[in-house]
Amino acid sequence: MNIDDLLKLDNQLCFTVYACSREIIKLYRPHLEKLGLTYTQYITMLVLWEKHSISAKDLGDKLYLDSGTLTPLLKKLEGMGLIDRKRGTEDERSLIVSLTPKGMDLKDAAKEVPLKVACSVSLPLHEGIFLRETLKELTKKINALE
């Protein structure tokens, strides 16, 4: 590879990951619309279905979202009746995000989403797992730079 090749779009890892991410989110969109969720709302709900209750700070860290993005997202989910936001009892500065019964009920309807998306892509399971784990490792390495 010569020096000019370094600035070709097709040689950029960042662009390839970005484009792939956009295409994956497009695959999710029709399934999530049936649930009344955007992709970002969906990944937020995934964390809450796993944890049931979590501080907003920890939620933002897990989702790689800053408070400027997370706050309106949580307000919208609260307005939809899927979550509650309350100040921490031990630390008033801490905001605790919890599932409501309606939010918990949505989990059953969402269970089919990952399977439907996976079935729409002809990627063998072991390749998908390898790719996911490789990208997780890359994300960890990039975060270690900060």
Question: What tens digit of pLDDT does each residue of 69-113 get?
Answer: 999 999 999 999 999 999 877 777 789 999 999 999 999 999 999
**Alpha-carbon separation of residue 95 from 44, 67, 88, 89, 135 (angstroms):** 15, 11, 6, 9, 30
Extents of the domains making up the chain: 13-116
Site of tokens 């995934």: 46
Out of 3.40.50.2300, 1.10.10.10, 2.40.110.10, 2.40.50.360, which CATH number does the structure's domain 13-116 have?
1.10.10.10
Amino acid residing at 119: C
Question: What tens digit of pLDDT does each residue of 12-62 get?
Answer: 999 999 999 999 999 999 999 999 999 999 999 999 999 999 999 999 999
